[in-house]
A and B are shown apart, each in its own frame.
Chain A
Amino acid sequence: MKILGLNEKDSRFLLIVIFLTLATPVLLQPFPEGSGMAQFNAGYPDLMQRFAIFGIFAIGFNILFGLTGYLSFGHAAFLGIGSYAVVWMYKLLDYNVIWGLPLAVVVSGIVALGIGFISLRRSGIYFSILTLAFAQMMFVISYSDLFGRFVGTTITNGETGLQVYGNDPQVLLGATEPSSPHFFGIVMRENFWTPQFGDWQFTFNNGYYFCAVIAILAFYLSLRIFRSPFGLMLRAIKTNQNRLNYTGVHSRPYTLAAFVISGMYAGLAGGLLAAMDPLAGAERMQWTESGTVVLMTILGGAGTLMGPVLGAGFIKYFENIFSKINDNVLHQWFAWMPDGLEDAIVWVLHFFVGKGWHLTLGVLFMLVVIFLPGGLVEGGTRIWRFIRGTDRKEKTADATHQPEHVAYVAEKEEF
């Protein structure tokens, strides 16, 4: 079966992704309420929304970093811009997200064009530093509301963050309109179905499904880009920009297009954050957020289609679930042990849960980078091959049978 201009394999792939996305509220709720494992359930709206939103963020980032190899350390700037754009539309028009989201994409695209135009004059570490510098500048500008002070009215509302106040114009606000973000009356924070099956409790939330549909579209778009001549050129840039230039291709506009597209994805993600929770703060632009999306992409597998989504899910899961485990919970788990041993184990694990979840993430990240350089996707592929019993050597046979000749003239052209 072929759908939406994809070949058979990709069509199947897309359908699986759609199924998994739509079934998330069930799939992430495997443990019955009240059981000791219930705290590992992730099927609640707030977290699922984050999975979808940061999935979008990482999918977009991957178009730049995964395909071209240009590592931006400033993508959080676009996340923040997206949020501000959406909240401004709440303030000026009304709570319908239909105004803010397109604006978030457009504005972050324009800003990405400017930042990309300058940063892409350099490559490698210099490019990364330039993007980082731009993002930090934007963070400071937002945090101190610098532009707002120039124009005489607030733009970002400084450290308090931007939010809707009673005296905001909201010119389109109807009498019966919901007073929280909605999409033509579908209120984001409301659930449309909360069925209970025995001890299992599921939550089907409007906001999650809104994000999920957009995430599926975002994924489909990235799939098309991966398979397009444009995607091929981006991969060529990553592997040998020198050859590409001498093949008649101007790489700069390609990298700039990739930068702008990934910036627009980030803006969309930021807009969706504000669509779920009508607030926008400067902290969303901080470099740690930029770093998170880098981690997500590498952890999941840079340059792969699913990797960034998996990475985003993984990190958000750890952030939310591991950070909630405290010493009491640990004591409950290990209560069956002799007291001394119990205390010792809890004392050690204590550093890896709660506020220490970053430590767990750090260890995990190191393990993945060292043992699975292709990220979680590579891990999945290896397990799959192992289950099917296919020999990994098959693929590398050519390299072993036809070893590369050693050059005795080691002259490499630099460009």
Chain B
Amino acid sequence: MGILEVKDVSKRFGGLKALSDVNLSVEEGTVHAIIGPNGAGKSTLLNCFVGKLIPDTGSVMFEGHSLLGIKPHQINQLGVSRVFQTPEIFSELTVFENVMIACFAKRDGSFRLQPFKTVENETDIVEKAEQMLVDVSMIEKRDMHSASLSRGDKRRLEMAMCLAQDPKLLLLDEPTAGMARADTNNTIELLKDIQKQRGITMAIIEHDMHVVFSLADRITVLAQGTPIVEDVPEKIKGHPKVQEAYLGTAH
């Protein structure tokens, strides 16, 4: 029984069948990649895990809780954090404030009214946030306005925010999309470090299969809304069905 169990999930957008009968199981402590060509339904699937979309049929269970019909903040509080395809950060705030918000959300839950405390006196939060920035090697950018970060650093910051919550499951939607080569490599290294040091369970969605090869324990290939193969990376590489799925939609 995996930490995340997806059973018979289907989703239609009007006449388009974006997902049909997806079954998937993410084992605790592993990195599970979901790859597939553009438009295969990867983002749609991920959105079904985080409360953004509700599938037409099927179930999504996380540690025995259904994730369907509950709000994104509730899903996060269960221990599921997510990284967006385009980094989503609090761009008007400093790097440090960004991470502190994640720490507060972890410590205080989805709502706690504390208008008379002072942020800088919350030593546990301050220390933890600083540690997170050290871990992703961004501590020297602590007081920078986060809007002025490079794309790679924004991704790093977003990752730091997710890690600050000690998630049980980290969901990543094309974490290297739109990045320069150097940033891509950086991000992959960062993910490897995270996996090595923390053993966090991850589900990574990726268009480019080379990105996840060195990272994933298992890979599911999605094509036109259906998983066509699931196996260890070595077996996926030369799999005829995978080649067909990618070549079939190559430009």
Which residues of A are at the interface with B, using a C-beta cutoff of 8 A?
5-7, 224-225, 227-233, 235-236, 238-240, 242-251, 253-254, 257, 261, 396, 398-399, 402, 404-413, 415
Residue in contact with B88 in the complex, picked from A243, A250, A399, CB distance below 8 Å: A243
Q: Which residue of B lies closest to A249 (CB)?
A: B105
Q: Is the interface of B mostly helix, strand, loop or mixed?
A: loop
Contact, CB under 8 Å: A233 / B116: no
Whether, in the assembled complex, B93 has its beta carbon less than 8 Å from a beta carbon of chain A, the answer is yes
A372, B86: Cα distance in complex, Å = 31
A252, B86: Cα distance in complex, Å = 24
Residue in contact with A228 in the complex, picked from B43, B105, B116, B165, CB distance below 8 Å: B116
A253, B110: Cα distance in complex, Å = 9
A148, B177: Cα distance in complex, Å = 63
Contact, CB under 8 Å: B149 / A230: no
Contact, CB under 8 Å: A240 / B115: no
Contact with A along B81-118 (1 / 0, CB 8 A): 11011101111110001001110111011111111111
7 closest Cβ contacts across the A-B interface?
A248-B76, A405-B151, A239-B92, A407-B178, A399-B148, A250-B110, A248-B105
Contacts of B97 in A (CB 8 A): 232, 235-236
Contacts of B144 in A (CB 8 A): 398
Contact, CB under 8 Å: B178 / A247: no
Residue in contact with B90 in the complex, picked from A227, A228, A230, A239, CB distance below 8 Å: A239
Whether, in the assembled complex, B236 has its beta carbon less than 8 Å from a beta carbon of chain A, the answer is no
Kindly provide the distance from the CB of B101 to the nearest chain A CB, expressed in whole angstroms: 5
Q: Which residue of A lies closest to B78 (CB)?
A: A248
A299, B167: Cα distance in complex, Å = 43
A250, B52: Cα distance in complex, Å = 15
Whether, in the assembled complex, B180 has its beta carbon less than 8 Å from a beta carbon of chain A, the answer is yes
Contacts of A250 in B (CB 8 A): 71, 73, 110-111
Contacts of A225 in B (CB 8 A): 115
Contacts of B125 in A (CB 8 A): 229
Contact, CB under 8 Å: A407 / B114: no
A7, B118: Cα distance in complex, Å = 9
Q: Which residue of A lies closest to B82 (CB)?
A: A246
Kindly provide the distance from the CB of A383 to the nearest chain B CB, expressed in whole angstroms: 22
Q: Which residue of A lies closest to B164 (CB)?
A: A247
Contacts of A405 in B (CB 8 A): 150-152, 178-180, 183
Contacts of B116 in A (CB 8 A): 224, 228
Q: Which residue of A lies closest to B165 (CB)?
A: A248
- What are 28 residue pairs bridging A and B, where the CB atoms are less than 8 Å apart in the complex? A228-B115, A229-B108, A229-B114, A235-B97, A239-B90, A239-B92, A243-B89, A244-B90, A245-B76, A246-B81, A246-B82, A247-B76, A248-B105, A248-B109, A250-B73, A251-B73, A261-B115, A398-B145, A399-B145, A399-B148, A402-B150, A405-B152, A407-B178, A409-B86, A410-B86, A411-B43, A413-B86, A413-B88
Q: Which residue of B lies closest to A396 (CB)?
A: B148
Contacts of B153 in A (CB 8 A): 402
Total contacting residues, chain B, CB less than 8 A: 58
A409, B93: Cα distance in complex, Å = 24
Contact, CB under 8 Å: B145 / A248: no
Kindly provide the distance from the CB of A228 to the nearest chain B CB, expressed in whole angstroms: 5
Contact, CB under 8 Å: B76 / A246: yes
Contacts of A257 in B (CB 8 A): 113, 115
A177, B109: Cα distance in complex, Å = 52
Q: In the complex, which of the residues B73, B108, B125 has the most CB atoms of chain A within 10 Å of its own CB atom?
A: B73
Kindly provide the distance from the CB of B192 to the nearest chain A CB, expressed in whole angstroms: 22
Q: Which residue of A lies closest to B110 (CB)?
A: A250
- Answer whether A230 and B73 are a contact pair too, CB < 8 Å, given A239-B91, A398-B145, A415-B52: no
Kindly provide the distance from the CB of B200 to the nearest chain A CB, expressed in whole angstroms: 16
A405, B151: Cα distance in complex, Å = 6
Whether, in the assembled complex, B161 has its beta carbon less than 8 Å from a beta carbon of chain A, the answer is yes
Residue in contact with A235 in the complex, picked from B92, B145, B151, CB distance below 8 Å: B92
Contact, CB under 8 Å: B92 / A238: yes
A248, B110: Cα distance in complex, Å = 6
Contacts of A229 in B (CB 8 A): 104, 108, 112, 114, 117, 119, 122, 125
